[in-house]
Protein backbone atom coordinates (compact mmCIF):
# COMPACT_ATOMS: atom_id res chain seq x y z
CA UNK A 1 0.00 0.00 0.00
CA UNK A 2 1.18 3.52 -0.65
CA UNK A 3 -0.30 6.67 0.75
CA UNK A 4 -0.09 10.37 0.19
CA UNK A 5 -0.30 12.16 3.48
CA UNK A 6 -1.98 15.56 3.39
CA UNK A 7 -2.30 17.63 6.53
CA UNK A 8 -2.30 21.35 7.23
CA UNK A 9 0.36 22.67 9.62
CA UNK A 10 -0.23 21.41 13.20
CA UNK A 11 -2.68 18.67 12.17
CA UNK A 12 -0.47 16.05 13.81
CA UNK A 13 1.21 14.66 10.72
CA UNK A 14 4.41 13.91 12.62
CA UNK A 15 2.52 12.00 15.31
CA UNK A 16 0.51 9.83 12.92
CA UNK A 17 3.33 9.13 10.52
CA UNK A 18 5.46 7.97 13.46
CA UNK A 19 2.64 5.73 14.69
CA UNK A 20 2.09 4.21 11.24
CA UNK A 21 5.79 3.58 11.02
CA UNK A 22 6.09 2.02 14.48
CA UNK A 23 2.93 -0.10 14.36
CA UNK A 24 2.75 -1.12 10.72
CA UNK A 25 6.24 -0.60 9.32
CA UNK A 26 5.31 2.10 6.86
CA UNK A 27 8.24 3.90 5.28
CA UNK A 28 7.80 7.58 5.88
CA UNK A 29 9.07 9.66 2.98
CA UNK A 30 9.08 13.39 3.50
CA UNK A 31 9.73 15.74 0.60
CA UNK A 32 11.62 18.07 2.93
CA UNK A 33 13.85 15.22 4.16
CA UNK A 34 14.60 14.12 0.59
CA UNK A 35 15.76 17.61 -0.29
CA UNK A 36 17.99 17.84 2.81
CA UNK A 37 19.35 14.36 2.21
CA UNK A 38 20.37 15.04 -1.39
CA UNK A 39 21.98 18.36 -0.43
CA UNK A 40 23.92 16.62 2.36
CA UNK A 41 25.03 13.81 0.04
CA UNK A 42 26.28 16.42 -2.45
CA UNK A 43 24.80 14.51 -5.36
CA UNK A 44 24.49 16.28 -8.71
CA UNK A 45 20.85 17.11 -8.08
CA UNK A 46 21.64 17.93 -4.43
CA UNK A 47 24.18 20.56 -5.49
CA UNK A 48 21.72 22.00 -7.99
CA UNK A 49 19.03 22.25 -5.29
CA UNK A 50 21.50 23.84 -2.89
CA UNK A 51 22.20 26.61 -5.41
CA UNK A 52 18.49 27.17 -5.98
CA UNK A 53 17.83 27.46 -2.26
CA UNK A 54 20.86 29.74 -1.78
CA UNK A 55 19.43 32.09 -4.41
CA UNK A 56 16.10 32.08 -2.56
CA UNK A 57 14.33 30.54 -5.54
CA UNK A 58 11.66 27.84 -5.61
CA UNK A 59 12.49 24.27 -6.52
CA UNK A 60 10.53 23.72 -9.72
CA UNK A 61 8.24 20.78 -10.43
CA UNK A 62 10.70 18.97 -12.69
CA UNK A 63 13.42 18.99 -10.06
CA UNK A 64 10.99 17.93 -7.34
CA UNK A 65 9.82 15.03 -9.52
CA UNK A 66 13.43 14.03 -10.10
CA UNK A 67 14.14 14.07 -6.36
CA UNK A 68 11.08 11.96 -5.56
CA UNK A 69 11.81 9.46 -8.31
CA UNK A 70 15.46 9.15 -7.27
CA UNK A 71 14.41 8.44 -3.68
CA UNK A 72 11.71 5.90 -4.55
CA UNK A 73 14.16 3.94 -6.67
CA UNK A 74 16.38 3.42 -3.61
CA UNK A 75 13.54 1.91 -1.55
CA UNK A 76 12.05 -1.55 -1.26
CA UNK A 77 8.63 -0.62 -2.62
CA UNK A 78 7.01 -3.84 -1.46
CA UNK A 79 7.02 -2.17 1.97
CA UNK A 80 4.06 0.19 2.39
CA UNK A 81 5.05 3.83 2.25
CA UNK A 82 3.56 7.22 2.85
CA UNK A 83 4.73 10.35 1.12
CA UNK A 84 4.29 13.69 2.78
CA UNK A 85 4.89 17.17 1.48
CA UNK A 86 4.38 15.99 -2.10
CA UNK A 87 2.43 16.26 -4.39
CA UNK A 88 1.10 19.62 -3.28
CA UNK A 89 -0.40 20.90 -6.50
CA UNK A 90 -1.97 19.44 -9.61
CA UNK A 91 1.15 19.60 -11.81
CA UNK A 92 2.95 17.55 -9.18
CA UNK A 93 0.06 15.06 -9.02
CA UNK A 94 0.52 14.35 -12.72
CA UNK A 95 4.31 14.02 -12.30
CA UNK A 96 3.88 11.69 -9.33
CA UNK A 97 1.40 9.44 -11.09
CA UNK A 98 3.79 9.13 -14.01
CA UNK A 99 6.66 8.24 -11.65
CA UNK A 100 4.54 5.59 -9.94
CA UNK A 101 3.37 4.18 -13.25
CA UNK A 102 7.00 3.65 -14.27
CA UNK A 103 7.42 1.67 -11.06
CA UNK A 104 4.23 -0.33 -11.71
CA UNK A 105 2.47 1.36 -8.82
CA UNK A 106 -0.41 3.72 -8.35
CA UNK A 107 -1.63 5.88 -5.47
CA UNK A 108 -3.70 3.64 -3.21
CA UNK A 109 -5.09 6.12 -0.70
CA UNK A 110 -4.75 9.75 0.18
CA UNK A 111 -4.95 10.39 3.88
CA UNK A 112 -6.19 13.88 4.62
CA UNK A 113 -6.11 15.00 8.25
CA UNK A 114 -8.50 17.90 8.43
CA UNK A 115 -8.24 20.60 11.09
CA UNK A 116 -9.65 24.08 11.19
CA UNK A 117 -7.39 27.09 11.49
CA UNK A 118 -8.32 27.92 15.08
CA UNK A 119 -7.54 24.42 16.37
CA UNK A 120 -4.22 24.49 14.54
CA UNK A 121 -3.39 27.89 15.95
CA UNK A 122 -4.05 26.78 19.53
CA UNK A 123 -1.83 23.76 19.04
CA UNK A 124 1.02 25.83 17.66
CA UNK A 125 0.89 28.60 20.21
CA UNK A 126 0.64 26.17 23.15
CA UNK A 127 3.64 24.03 22.15
CA UNK A 128 6.18 23.61 24.91
CA UNK A 129 8.79 20.97 25.59
CA UNK A 130 11.04 19.77 28.39
CA UNK A 131 14.59 21.06 28.02
CA UNK A 132 15.92 17.84 29.61
CA UNK A 133 13.97 14.86 28.25
CA UNK A 134 12.58 16.75 25.19
CA UNK A 135 9.04 15.50 25.82
CA UNK A 136 6.41 17.65 24.13
CA UNK A 137 3.43 19.21 25.84
CA UNK A 138 0.73 21.64 24.89
CA UNK A 139 -0.59 24.11 27.42
CA UNK A 140 -3.58 24.98 25.20
CA UNK A 141 -4.90 21.48 24.64
CA UNK A 142 -6.28 19.34 27.46
CA UNK A 143 -4.88 15.97 26.46
CA UNK A 144 -1.29 17.14 26.12
CA UNK A 145 -1.16 19.58 29.00
CA UNK A 146 1.43 19.00 31.74
CA UNK A 147 -0.03 17.60 34.98
CA UNK A 148 1.37 20.33 37.22
CA UNK A 149 1.58 23.96 36.14
CA UNK A 150 4.23 24.46 33.52
CA UNK A 151 6.48 21.60 34.65
CA UNK A 152 7.63 18.42 32.93
CA UNK A 153 5.70 15.45 34.41
CA UNK A 154 8.90 13.42 34.69
CA UNK A 155 11.74 15.91 35.23
CA UNK A 156 9.78 18.59 37.14
CA UNK A 157 11.59 21.39 35.32
CA UNK A 158 10.06 24.43 33.67
CA UNK A 159 8.85 23.77 30.10
CA UNK A 160 10.03 26.01 27.30
CA UNK A 161 8.13 27.32 24.31
CA UNK A 162 9.09 25.66 21.05
CA UNK A 163 7.17 27.54 18.44
CA UNK A 164 8.77 29.80 15.87
CA UNK A 165 5.32 30.78 14.75
CA UNK A 166 3.39 33.89 15.50
CA UNK A 167 -0.37 33.96 15.01
CA UNK A 168 0.11 35.77 11.69
CA UNK A 169 2.76 33.43 10.32
CA UNK A 170 0.72 30.36 11.26
CA UNK A 171 -2.39 31.77 9.60
CA UNK A 172 -0.45 32.58 6.45
CA UNK A 173 1.07 29.10 6.30
CA UNK A 174 -2.34 27.52 6.91
CA UNK A 175 -4.06 29.57 4.20
CA UNK A 176 -1.34 28.86 1.64
CA UNK A 177 -1.46 25.16 2.45
CA UNK A 178 -5.22 24.96 2.10
CA UNK A 179 -5.39 26.90 -1.17
CA UNK A 180 -2.47 24.97 -2.69
CA UNK A 181 -3.61 21.48 -1.78
CA UNK A 182 -7.36 21.94 -2.24
CA UNK A 183 -7.33 20.93 -5.93
CA UNK A 184 -5.25 17.86 -5.00
CA UNK A 185 -7.74 16.89 -2.31
CA UNK A 186 -10.69 17.34 -4.67
CA UNK A 187 -8.95 15.35 -7.40
CA UNK A 188 -8.46 12.33 -5.16
CA UNK A 189 -11.91 12.71 -3.64
CA UNK A 190 -13.37 12.42 -7.15
CA UNK A 191 -11.27 9.32 -7.75
CA UNK A 192 -12.65 7.74 -4.57
CA UNK A 193 -9.19 7.56 -3.00
CA UNK A 194 -9.50 10.26 -0.38
CA UNK A 195 -9.73 9.35 3.28
CA UNK A 196 -10.73 12.40 5.27
CA UNK A 197 -10.11 12.24 9.01
CA UNK A 198 -11.24 14.76 11.60
CA UNK A 199 -7.94 15.83 13.13
CA UNK A 200 -9.41 17.95 15.91
CA UNK A 201 -9.90 15.01 18.28
CA UNK A 202 -7.24 13.63 20.62
CA UNK A 203 -4.43 11.70 18.91
CA UNK A 204 -5.47 8.25 20.24
CA UNK A 205 -8.98 8.57 18.84
CA UNK A 206 -7.72 9.96 15.56
CA UNK A 207 -5.15 7.21 15.16
CA UNK A 208 -7.79 4.52 15.83
CA UNK A 209 -9.86 6.03 13.05
CA UNK A 210 -6.88 5.99 10.72
CA UNK A 211 -6.21 2.31 11.52
CA UNK A 212 -9.82 1.39 10.97
CA UNK A 213 -10.18 3.21 7.69
CA UNK A 214 -6.89 1.88 6.33
CA UNK A 215 -7.90 -1.61 7.42
CA UNK A 216 -4.53 -2.22 9.06
CA UNK A 217 -5.61 -3.05 12.64
ZN1 LIG B 1 11.34 16.07 31.08
On average, the pLDDT of the chain sits at 92
Distance 150 CA to ligand 1 centre (A): 11
- At 163 the pLDDT is 72
Distance 130 CA to ligand 1 centre (A): 5
Query: Are 118 and 46 members of one domain?
Result: yes
Distance 126 CA to ligand 1 centre (A): 17
From the CA atom positions of the chain, what is the Rg in Å?
A: 18
- At 141 the pLDDT is 74
Query: Are 23 and 109 members of one domain?
Result: yes
Distance 139 CA to ligand 1 centre (A): 15
- Indicate the pLDDT class of residue 82, thresholds 50, 70 and 90: very high
Q: Sign of torsion, CA 7 12 15 16?
A: negative
What confidence tens digit (pLDDT) does each residue in 11-35 have? 988 889 889 999 999 999 999 999 9
- In angstroms, the CA 129 to CA 108 distance is 36
Conformational region of residue 94, where left means phi above 0, alpha means psi within -120 to 50, and beta covers everything else = alpha
Distance 120 CA to ligand 1 centre (A): 24
Distance 84 CA to ligand 1 centre (A): 29
- Indicate the pLDDT class of residue 81, thresholds 50, 70 and 90: very high
Distance 133 CA to ligand 1 centre (A): 4
- At 68 the pLDDT is 95
Query: Are 68 and 149 members of one domain?
Result: no
User: At residue 124, does pLDDT exceed 90?
Assistant: no
- Indicate the pLDDT class of residue 135, thresholds 50, 70 and 90: very high
**pTM for the predicted model, two decimal places:** 0.84
Query: Are 18 and 83 members of one domain?
Result: yes
- Indicate the pLDDT class of residue 10, thresholds 50, 70 and 90: confident
User: At residue 49, does pLDDT exceed 90?
Assistant: yes
Q: Is the peptide bond before 62 cis (omega within 30 degrees of 0)?
A: no
What confidence tens digit (pLDDT) does each residue in 188-212 have? 999 999 999 999 988 889 999 999 9
User: At residue 214, does pLDDT exceed 70?
Assistant: yes
- In angstroms, the CA 103 to CA 177 distance is 29
Query: Are 74 and 42 members of one domain?
Result: yes
Give the domain extent around 43. 2-123+165-214
Distance 51 CA to ligand 1 centre (A): 40
Query: In the predicted model, what is the mean pLDDT of residues 35-57?
Result: 93
Residue closest to 161 by CA, chosen among 132, 136, 129: 129
Distance 123 CA to ligand 1 centre (A): 19
Query: In the predicted model, what is the mean pLDDT of residues 53-73?
Result: 93
| Beta-carbon count within 10 A of 168 CB | 8
Strands, E assignment, 57-176: 81-84, 109-114, 127-129, 136-138, 160-161
- Contact assessment for residue 95 and residue 74, using Cβ atoms and an 8 Å cutoff: no
SS3 (DSSP) at 151: strand
Query: In the predicted model, what is the mean pLDDT of residues 152-174?
Result: 90
Distance 154 CA to ligand 1 centre (A): 5
- At 21 the pLDDT is 92
Q: In terms of DSSP bridges, do strands 2-6 and 81-84 run parallel, antiparallel, or are they unpaired? A: parallel
Query: Are 133 and 206 members of one domain?
Result: no
- Indicate the pLDDT class of residue 122, thresholds 50, 70 and 90: confident
- At 142 the pLDDT is 72
**CATH assignment of the domain containing 21:** 3.40.50.300
Residue closest to 89 by CA, chosen among 50, 59, 120, 57: 59
Distance 172 CA to ligand 1 centre (A): 32
- At 217 the pLDDT is 61
Query: Structurally, how many domains does the chain consist of?
Result: 2
Conformational region of residue 121, where left means phi above 0, alpha means psi within -120 to 50, and beta covers everything else = alpha
- At 144 the pLDDT is 84
Amino acid sequence: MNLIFIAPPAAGKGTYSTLLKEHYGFNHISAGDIIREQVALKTEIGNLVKDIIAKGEMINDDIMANLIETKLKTLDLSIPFMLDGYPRKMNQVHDYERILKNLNLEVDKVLFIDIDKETGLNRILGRVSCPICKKNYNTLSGYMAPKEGNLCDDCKVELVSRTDDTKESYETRYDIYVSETKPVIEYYRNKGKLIQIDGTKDPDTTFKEIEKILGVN
